[in-house]
Amino acid sequence: MLTITDIESIRIQLTPGSYGGGLAVYPPGSTFGPRTMRDFEFVWIIAGDVVWESDGVEHAAPAGSLLLARPGMRDAFRWDPLQQTRHGFFHFSIDPGDAAIPPMAEWPLVRRLPERDIIRPLFHHIDWLLSARVPGWEALSEHAMRQALLAFITGAMSVSGDPEQALHPLIEQVVSHVQERWAAGRLEQVSLDELAAAAGVSRAHLARVFRAHLGSTPVEALRILRLDRAATLLVRTNLAVGAIADRTGFENAFHFSRAFRRQYGHSPRAFRAHMLAGANMPTIPLVRVRQLSARMWQKV
């Protein structure tokens, strides 16, 4: 049985940069890997039926599954062939100290999350900490991830739960509209006129609401989301640059490369090579847009 001393001696450190955690969306039939893990990774399947292969063994991972990959593991993913797959992920390292925790070989690889669980709220909290960077955020995120890890290992995951805090009602209306526009899998550009009409307010009023709550204009927020999704696809899929440009709503590969370079300082191909060489994915500007990102991909 774990004691208070055991729990307090376990140290968790999230992998630096936005590649350490986030939300990923894959088109039907996509694959990822194989890869050799350098650290631990929680993979939370939000939507889609996934097959996860770890060290040659296949595991069914439908929506609601939580996977734990670990250092040295060779793994790969086959995403849902019929619909988009959405998953959250966090990379981290563990120093168990003197804790009498079960041997890693006995840890589960896959668990199904109960309807009300402690892990998903902890993941939302960690994502907020990574974005907000409030005083003490590193220690707070370590404590939250430690609790999530121990809940996963022991199976003690159930809680009563509280509903997630909603965005501003006008932003929610914009999110619903854009989700419908992007439901087919291509993240098309959406004009401010269209967004304002969907929200039933003027362009100026909608822009003020977005600036007050997310720190950006509506069009800028969607542009960042499209480029952030492109960065994720570059790092976590084998899709060609032209295919990624099309999926993220750019006119052609040239326009995509130019916008991507302005955002990340590298061409898409150079960025992919840089990340595959082990670099940490940079944090996107206007990190408060992450709150919008978390809601945007709930149905897309």
Alpha-carbon distance 272 to 279, whole Å?
10
**Distance from C-alpha of 249 to C-alpha of 14, rounded to nearest angstrom:** 32
169-296 is classed CATH 1.10.10.60: yes
- Kindly compute the dihedral angle of the four CA atoms of residues 293, 288, 221, 227, in this order, to the nearest 10 degrees: -60
Q: Is the pLDDT of residue 289 over 70?
A: no
- Whether pTM > 0.85 for this model: the answer is no
pLDDT digits (tens, 9 = 90+) for 24-36: 889 999 999 999 9
**Annotated domain spans of the chain:** 4-154, 169-296
- Reply yes or no on whether the pLDDT at 287 is more than 50: no
- Which has the closest alpha carbon to 22: 295, 293, 260, 298? 293
Question: What is the Cα–Cα distance from 65 to 88, expressed in whole angstroms?
Answer: 11
Fold annotation for 4-154: Jelly Rolls (2.60.120)
The answer to whether residue 286 scores a pLDDT higher than 90 is no
- Please give the full DSSP string across 128-175, using - where no structure is assigned: HHHHH--TTHHHHHHHHHHHHHHHHHH---B----PPPPPPHHHHHHH
* pLDDT averaged over every residue in the chain: 84
